[in-house]
Each structure stands twice: as structure tokens, then as C-alpha cells.
């Protein structure tokens, strides 16, 4: 993975889009980017797309996190999670999923299925690169994406998710949608009208409850107005395929890796009951933590501290034993 696929043409950088820096003050100081913890930027040539990656190396690391954003974020917004990993000796890789951040893609390509396929192939590429075991860390919709990718890949050591919701269910669609009219009529209509509707640009902030992404009004407005994240538009195909893409392994049969669900306790965007329902179906070793006082985008104390503690404890439990390393 280099920064020069595609004939060496110039590419954007987050130096050119400094809006991400406005998220930093909302996170604890120890999770903010510094010159020492700033991710390096790379480009991965995949299926004709230039996929932007933020990478944080850690010498001698035993695990690598791939951090996955949802439909209101992008890689550099989630840099605090990479900083957390780096400070505790773990490597981290945060991609801009197609259509978000700096990863551009033709509308005709964009779908939720494309996201799953990209993450699965990124896992394979990273394992071939250095062999370091991978843990997926999904925030918001990225949590379900992490589960889907783990189920399809079968080659990850663990999954951390802040939400785990199956959008195939009516309750989940009701909980994710801006209105009951949209979830009960609008979303099903995308299936019937897919030949016409699939490419229709859709403002994600108007179809979801993204106005509730944070209980801090200024942070919520920042997310909603950010053109690289919550202010983004995606083709209606993305929503349709999100509803219809079944996981490779249903949770009752999931035996790939342990799962940590760390759902925000004051989440007004996604009902914790929806995550709990999916979590309880999981057959594999699992743990659930409720982040006290934290919004859907968890930045508040004590929830953000609980997220750090739970994630680090989970990662410690996943480190390979000396016997496994010697094989």
C-alpha cells in the first residue's frame, strides 16, 4: 500500500481539509492528535478506487486495530481511537470507506455491500503485509460492518463495536430512520423502485437520526455540517443494500472471535435495546459494557473513560500467547 497508485497523480490530504481538527477538543487530551501520534496518510489501490488510509505504527505490536466509521464519520474524525491504540502499544489503520472522507467513488459503485467487501479485502491485505493479528473496532454503523466483515473474513482476532444493530429487522429500521413514515414506507419502496431510485443522491442527515449523534449541540452540528462525514450524500442504493445484505454467519452461529459491545448509555440516536437484542443472539464469547453518560458519538466522561478501559482490557485478553507466536 503506497501513496502513488494511478500514475502518480496528486491526491488530497487531511492537511487540505483541516475541519477534522475541530473534533479534537471534544475528546480527552490523551486521545488527541499530537505531532508524535499523528497518523500517516496512505493510498490503497482497490478495484479502481484510491482508498485513503490513516496509519499509526507501533513497534513490536502484537495486535493491529482496523477502525471503521459509520455513515456520519470518516477516518480522521476517529483519530482519537488510533491515538489510544498507539499510546498503549497497538498499531491502527483507519480507512475512509467509499463515498466518505477522501475516498471518492462513482455513484454507480456505491453500496453497503461494497463496504463489506472492501473491509474483508483490507483485512487480507494487512495480514499479508505483516501478519499481525487484526481487531476490528467499529463505531456507530461501523459496528455492524465490523461484525459483517469478521463473519465473512474469518481472519480477525476480535471485534469491538459501539453499536450492533441488524437493519434487516423492522424495529431496527424504525430506530435508525428519521421518521416512522420513512422506515415503514420510504425504505421498502427503495426495493420496489430500485431501477429508478438506486442512483438518487440522498442526504444521510435527513434520512437518519444523525441530528442526535451527540448530546453536545455544538458537536452534533459540526457532524451534520461536515461534507466529508455527516453532511455527505450517498445514493439510495446504499440504504437499500444496508437493509438487505445478510451476514455470512448469523449471530447464533458466530464462532469467529470474541466480541466487545460498548454501547453509549445516553445514546439518543440508537436505542441500546436494539444493540442488546443482537448481542444476546451472539453465540461466541462476548462482553457488553454500557458507557455512562455517553452520546452515540462517545466523548463524554465517564463513558469515554469506560470505553478506553474496556477496549484496552479486551485487547490485552486477545494478545497471542508465546506458544501461538512460536507456531
What is the grid cell recorded at 164? 450492533
pLDDT tens digits, one per residue of 151-186: 999 999 999 999 999 988 878 777 776 556 566 565
Q: How far apart are CA 84 and CA 91, in angstroms?
A: 10
What is the grid cell recorded at 107? 455513484
pLDDT tens digits, one per residue of 237-266: 998 898 888 999 999 999 999 999 999 999
Q: How far apart are CA 320 and CA 303, in angstroms?
A: 28
Question: Which pTM value belongs to this model?
Answer: 0.93
In the CATH scheme, what architecture does the domain 24-319 have? 3-Layer(aba) Sandwich (3.40)
- Report the run of H or E that residue 65 belongs to, with start and end: strand 64-68
Measured between alpha carbons, how far apart are the two ends of the chain, in Å? 27
∠ CA 193-196-200, nearest 5°, is: 105
Q: How far apart are CA 134 and CA 32, in angstroms?
A: 23
Instruction: Kindly list the domain boundaries of the chain, sorted by start residue.
Output: 24-319
Half-sphere exposure of 306 (CA within 13 A, CB side): 20
Residue 4 confidence (pLDDT) above 70: no
Amino acid at each position: 500500500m503506497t501513496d502513488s497508485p494511478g500514475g502518480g497523480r496528486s491526491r488530497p490530504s487531511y492537511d487540505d481539509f483541516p475541519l477534522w481538527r475541530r473534533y479534537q477538543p471534544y475528546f480527552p487530551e490523551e486521545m488527541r492528535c499530537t505531532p508524535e501520534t499523528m497518523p500517516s496518510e496512505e493510498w490503497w489501490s482497490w478495484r479502481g478506487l484510491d482508498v485513503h488510509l490513516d496509519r499509526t505504527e507501533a513497534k513490536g505490536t502484537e495486535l493491529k486495530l482496523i477502525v471503521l466509521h459509520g455513515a456520519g464519520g470518516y477516518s480522521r474524525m476517529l483519530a482519537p481511537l488510533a491515538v489510544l491504540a498507539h499510546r498503549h502499544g497497538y498499531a491502527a489503520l483507519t480507512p475512509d470507506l467509499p463515498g466518505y472522507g477522501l475516498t471518492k467513488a462513482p455513484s454507480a459503485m456505491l453500496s453497503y455491500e461494497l463496504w463489506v467487501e472492501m473491509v474483508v479485502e483490507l483485512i487480507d491485505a494487512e495480514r499479508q503485509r505483516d501478519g499481525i493479528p487484526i481487531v476490528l473496532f467499529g463505531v456507530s454503523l461501523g459496528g455492524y460492518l465490523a461484525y459483517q466483515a469478521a463473519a465473512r473474513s474469518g481472519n480477525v482476532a476480535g471485534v469491538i463495536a459501539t453499536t450492533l444493530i441488524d437493519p434487516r429487522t423492522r424495529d431496527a429500521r424504525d430506530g435508525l430512520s428519521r421518521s416512522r413514515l420513512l422506515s415503514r414506507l420510504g425504505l421498502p419502496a427503495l426495493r420496489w423502485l430500485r431501477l429508478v431510485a438506486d442512483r438518487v443522491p440522498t442526504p444521510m442527515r435527513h434520512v437518519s437520526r444523525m441530528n442526535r449523534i451527540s448530546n453536545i449541540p455544538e458537536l452534533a452540528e459540526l457532524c451534520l455540517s461536515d461534507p466529508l462525514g455527516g453532511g455527505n450524500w450517498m445514493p439510495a442504493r446504499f440504504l437499500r443494500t444496508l437493509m438487505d445484505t445478510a451476514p455470512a454467519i448469523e449471530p447464533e452461529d458466530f464462532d469467529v472471535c470474541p466480541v466487545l459491545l460498548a454501547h453509549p448509555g445516553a445514546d439518543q440516536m440508537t436505542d441500546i435495546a436494539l444493540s442488546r437484542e443482537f448481542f444476546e443472539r451472539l453465540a461466541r464469547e462476548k462482553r457488553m459494557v454500557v458507557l455512562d453518560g455517553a452520546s452515540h458519538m462517545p466523548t463524554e466522561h465517564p463513558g469515554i473513560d469506560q470505553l478506553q478501559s474496556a477496549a484496552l482490557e479486551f485487547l490485552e485478553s486477545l494478545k497471542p500467547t508465546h506458544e501461538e507466536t512460536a507456531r
